Structure 1
Amino acid sequence: MNAHVYLAYDYPLLGAFWTVLWIVLWVAWFCLLFRVIADIFRDDTLSGWAKAGWLILTILLPFLGVFVYVLARGRSMGARERRHLQAQQEAFDAYVREAAGSTGRRSEADELMKLSEIRARGDISDEEFRRAKEKILH
């Protein structure tokens, strides 16, 4: 009865596998926890008391709090994340348009000079010149 019983954990490779698996699960858990906390702060439909209640629940009882939050409000989490990402993209696009427009945009004087050159060549009439000039100046 002195036979050794080898368990799966007695093998070094399997032990390393279990260690890596636990580390990955803990990292995923913390990512989910921080995502839930960020969603609590991001949600504009929750009142201050509701936010405080969800935060207390997720901090004091993290596993239960996150589980209940994902069950109760998980579907709207995705919608809020999409709106947040769309707002970030729109802000970035507006910034790029503003930055590109300020350096690549021609001044009114440049536009008027080009327009007068076109009129001097005879490519447009005086009436067309007057309308284009008003468009540039207004």
Structure 2
Amino acid sequence: MEFWDIIWLIIVSFAFIAYLMLMFMIITDLFRDRQTSGWIKAVWVLCLILFPLITGLLYLIFRGSGMAHRTAEAEQQARTQADDYIKQTAGTNSAAQIAEAKKLLDAGTITDTEFQQLKAKALA
């Protein structure tokens, strides 16, 4: 294999991987969108199969801003679920933290100001 054959293989491989990523992102966004009917989704998928490049570009032009919004919502929802799971698993819910701070206040280990700070931190 010559040098330029290797370069061409790298370029074509990169383009193919970028194409696959775009198709998977579009299909994921289609199924994430709850406002679009199933028939419209089917038409988009069919067009992606028959005319992938043109359909992909049209999808990005006409639905690109909504795509970014839905992706941001999904990421925020995943982040919230992960944070809730971590709090639940770690056993550090806010009520337990406040109760522990109250015990420290009653024992005289911390001042009322420190208790209020811990309480505000637990509720945040």
Q: Which runs of 5+ in 1 are unaligned?
A: 1-10, 119-138
Question: How many Å separate the matches in 2 of 1:58 and 1:44?
Answer: 19
Other-structure match for 1:28: 18
Other-structure match for 1:129: none
The reply on whether 1:13 has 2:13 as its aligned counterpart is no
Matched ranges for 1:1-138 at <5 A: 12-101=2-91, 105=96, 118=107
Paired-residue identity, %: 29
Question: How many Å separate the matches in 1 of 2:33 and 2:85?
Answer: 25
Q: How many residues align?
A: 104
Other-structure match for 2:110: none
Provide the TM-score with structure 2 as the length reference.
0.71
Q: Which runs of 5+ in 2 are unaligned?
A: 108-124
User: Is the partner of 2:34 in helix, strand or coil?
Assistant: coil
RCO greater where, 1 or 2, for CA within 8 Å and sep 6 or more? 2
Question: How many Å separate the matches in 1 of 2:25 and 2:10?
Answer: 22
Question: How many Å separate the matches in 1 of 2:68 and 2:89?
Answer: 31
Deviation at 1:60, TM superposition (A): 2.2
Structure 1 stretches of 4+ moved >4 Å: none
Structure number with bigger Rg: 1
Provide the TM-score with structure 1 as the length reference.
0.64
Deviation at 1:87, TM superposition (A): 0.4
Question: How many Å separate the matches in 2 of 1:59 and 1:102?
Answer: 49
Deviation at 1:22, TM superposition (A): 0.6
- Residue type of the alignment partner of 2:74: H
